[in-house]
Amino acid sequence: MLHDLVVQYGPLIVFVNVLAASLGLPVPAMPTLIAFGAMASLHPGSIAPELLTVLVLAIFATLIGDSLWYLAGRVYGARMLNTLCRLSLSRDICVKKTERFFGRWGVRVLVVSRFVPGLSIVSVPMAGAMGTRYRTFLRYNGTGAVLWSGTGLLIGALFARQIEWLLAVASRMSGVALAVIAALLLTYAGYRWVRRQQLIRELMAARIDESELHALMQANDAPIVFDIRSPEHRMLDPFVIPGAQFADERHLETIINTYPRERKFVIYCACPNEVSAAWMAQQLTKAGFADVLPLRGGLDAWRDAGRPLDPLPSLDDAPETSDTLGTPDTPAAATTALPKTL
C-alpha cells in the first residue's frame, strides 16, 4: 500500500511537504525526503526513475517558500525580525545569535542554514532585509536547497534497509500507539511554549517605561543607556536613543569592570519581549549593580511614543572596526562602527 502511494503521489507529497516546511509551518520535510530515498533504493524499477523529479520539485518548493520570506524581509526589514522574535519558541537571544552568524558569514550562510535548526527561518528574511540582490540570494539559497534535498534522498538510499524496518514497525503499530507518539510531540511543543512564557513572566518583574526614561533624561538625571542590539540589527534600524552606548552581553565581564555599580542603567534591545535585555539586567544585578532595568517595549516603544532618536553614522562614513564597548562618557554615535554590508 505504501509502495503504491509513493508511486502515484510521491513527488506531489514531497513538493507539498517541503513547501509547507519552507513557508514556516511546523511540518518537518527531511523525514519525507529520507523516506522517498529509501523507497527508491528498495524499488529501483518503479520509484527510482522519479528521484530526479523529486529532487527538482524539492528544490523548487524550497525556493518558492524562501523567496516569500526573502520578499517579506526586503519589504518589512527589522519589523520582520521582530515578528520572528515574537513567534519563536526559542529565546529571543537565539534570534540575535543568528543575526550575528549572518553578519559574520553574510549571504553565504544560506548554503548551510537548513542544516542548522532555527538558522534558515531568520537568515532568509534577513538576506532580504540586508538588501541582498535576489540573484545572489537565489545562487546561495539554491545551492543550499540542492545540498539539503540531495542529502535527505542520499541518507534514505544509504539506510534503506533500516528505514524499511522502521516503516514496517510503524505499520504494525496500533492507532493508539501512533496517537501516543503524536501526543508526546505536542506535549514537548507545549512544554517549550510554557517554559518561554514562564521565562518572560520572570523577566517582566521589573521594567522602566519610555515615559519614565524620558523624564529622567529631561531632568538631567539620565541613566547610562545600553543598546544591546546586534550590529546586524542596527544596520537594519540605524537609530538609537540619544546618549545610548552599544554593549554586548557576551562581554559582561568587561562591562562589570568598566562601569560604576551605583549608577542607574537602562537596557534595550530589538525584540518585543525584551528577553535578552532582561537577562543582561539580571546578570548585572547579580554582579552587584544597584539599579538596572530593561526598557519596556525596547526601541520600538521609544519610537512609537514620538521620542527623539539619534541616527547612526552612515556605513560609508563609519571606520571599519569591530563592535566594541564604549566608555561611560562616550556618545553612542562614536562608540561603535557598523560593518559593511555583505
Burial class (CB in 10 A: 0-12, 13-18, 19+), 118: middle
Instruction: Output phi, psi for 294, to 5 deg.
Output: -75, 150
Q: What is the CATH number of the domain that holds 323?
A: 3.40.250.10
Residues 75-92 as b/e (b if ≥16 CB within 10 A, e otherwise) read: eebbebbbebbeebebbb
Is residue 158 domain-shared with residue 234, that is, in the same domain?
no
Written as nine digits, the cell of 310 is 539619534
Is residue 179 domain-shared with residue 217, that is, in the same domain?
no
Name residue 240's beta-bridge partners: 310
Evaluate if residue 86 carries a pLDDT over 70: no
Evaluate if residue 314 carries a pLDDT over 70: no
Please state, for a pLDDT cut of 70, what percent of the chain lies above it. 75
Q: Tell me the C-alpha distance between 179 and 187, whole Å.
A: 12
Is residue 186 domain-shared with residue 303, that is, in the same domain?
no
Task: Please report the pLDDT score of residue 1 as a whole number.
Answer: 47
Is residue 133 domain-shared with residue 149, that is, in the same domain?
yes
Task: Please report the pLDDT score of residue 259 as a whole number.
Answer: 92
Please state, for a pLDDT cut of 90, what percent of the chain lies above it. 28
Is residue 230 domain-shared with residue 312, that is, in the same domain?
yes
Task: Please report the pLDDT score of residue 332 as a whole number.
Answer: 35
Which domain covers residue 195, as residue numbers? 175-203
Q: How many domains does the chain have?
A: 3
Mean pLDDT (the chain, rounded): 78
Domain assignment present for 123: yes
Is residue 155 domain-shared with residue 26, that is, in the same domain?
yes
Q: Tell me the C-alpha distance between 161 and 150, whole Å.
A: 19
* Angle (nearest 5°) at CA 23 between 22 and 29: 40
Is residue 87 domain-shared with residue 102, that is, in the same domain?
yes
Domain assignment present for 341: no
pLDDT in tens, 135-185: 999 999 999 999 999 999 999 889 888 887 876 776 666 666 667 767 877
Is residue 197 domain-shared with residue 110, that is, in the same domain?
no
Is residue 247 domain-shared with residue 166, that is, in the same domain?
no
pLDDT in tens, 199-215: 656 555 578 899 999 99
